[in-house]
Chain A
Amino acid sequence: MAKKASAAGKSPPKRKTGSVLSPLFRSALEVLEHGIWHFFRSDTSIDMKFALLHVDQAIELLLKERVRRGGKSIYKNPKETINIWSAYTILENDLACTIPEKPDLELLHEERNNIQHKYSNPSAEDAAFHVNQAILFIDRFCRDELKVDLHDHLPAEYLDELLPKP
């Protein structure tokens, strides 16, 4: 049975037309938006936990997207893709892509590992540091490396609260 073209009563977010987004990049934006949604919903450790998980995942997907656009495979074998550390290595060694924000992103990934693999309950203050640093990186990385303006893909009310005024 054919699906209806659009869900009743809901219109998709307005995004710039003209170029088709890669599934990898689109997925990165989706998890990023959902992570920020958690971040702004409350300052409970549960929301902070999911905010950090999603924002870190978005970064990993964006790095992989840059690897893909650089003509490098994101697969380390037919069944597994590279992890975030391999993505950094490929970007730095093979694609001459430097990431000065890497020390902050490493801290976020460590926090993500503590949540994902153990039982970390991040505080609102710590989460605010990680998310603010992550968004600054994502904004810069999208613009410089992926030639995309984040404002075309994420709600303005989120970015207004997270990015410095131009």
Chain B
Amino acid sequence: MAGDRFRIRISRSGLDFEAEGDRKFIQEMIAKFLGENTPAPREKAVGGRAEPTHHELPDVSSKKQSVGEFVRTTAFKRHVDVVLAFGYYLEKMAGLTSFTAADINTCYYEAKLESSNSSQMLINNIKRGLAMEAKDQGKKGKRSYTLTRSGEQKVEEVIRDNNA
């Protein structure tokens, strides 16, 4: 009977899971999905029943945020501030020790934002004391930049205020 077939789709924060088949197959696939994506499977039971499935979903809160998602959390409007946020993202989330204007341009592209003159915006951030030239200058003679402590604090304050 057609009613024996099930279809399930779970989409959450960049993780997609989809399965179709009979009940046993679906349960096996869910178990496999959870097994592969949950760091430490928990065997919790409430009142003799297993917790609802959505509690078993993998913890994706630690998953790396995209640059587009990140810059939108800052709600920055001016390009000079957006470039500062990109610099923060590159250093704190992408793991770079310094970045170039070309890296900032890549962030604009990946965040699907209209670009600006990144070099000028970096100069303006240096004038504001929020960025500085990095000691280890980039390859091919390209200038590298890094955020100052004040620059990091400015971004962190804005994120904190927006989340409050």
Contacts and interface: CB of A to CB of B under 8 A. Distances in A.
Contact of B117 (A47, A157, A164): A47
A128 B120 CA distance: 6
User: Which interface class (under 10, 10 to 19, 20 to 34, 35 or more) fits A?
Assistant: 10 to 19
B120 A42 contact: no
A125 B118 contact: no
B124 A161 contact: yes
Interface string B102-129: 0001000000000111111101100100
Of B118, B119, B123, most buried by chain A (CB within 10 Å of CB) is B119
Contacts of A157: 78
A70 B114 CA distance: 44
Given A43-B105, A124-B101, A128-B123, A161 B118 contact: no
A164 B128 CA distance: 10
Contacts of A47: 117
Of B101, B115, B120, B123, most buried by chain A (CB within 10 Å of CB) is B120
Nearest to B80: A161
A166 to B, nearest CB: 15
A123 to B, nearest CB: 8
- Interface class of chain A by DSSP: helix
A43 B143 contact: no
A128 B119 CA distance: 8
A131 B119 CA distance: 12
A151 interface: no
A41 interface: yes
B154 interface: no
Contact of B143 (A42, A125, A131, A161): A125
Nearest to A129: B123
Interface in B53-80: 78-80
A128 B116 CA distance: 13
A50 interface: no
A75 interface: no
Interface of A: 39-43, 47, 124-125, 128, 131-132, 157, 161, 164
Given A42-B116, A124-B119, 9 more contacts: A40-B79, A40-B116, A40-B120, A42-B105, A43-B118, A124-B117, A124-B120, A128-B120, A161-B80
25 contacts: A39-B117, A39-B120, A40-B79, A40-B120, A41-B116, A41-B117, A42-B105, A42-B115, A43-B105, A43-B118, A43-B119, A43-B120, A47-B117, A124-B117, A124-B119, A125-B119, A125-B143, A128-B117, A128-B119, A132-B123, A157-B78, A161-B120, A161-B121, A161-B124, A164-B127
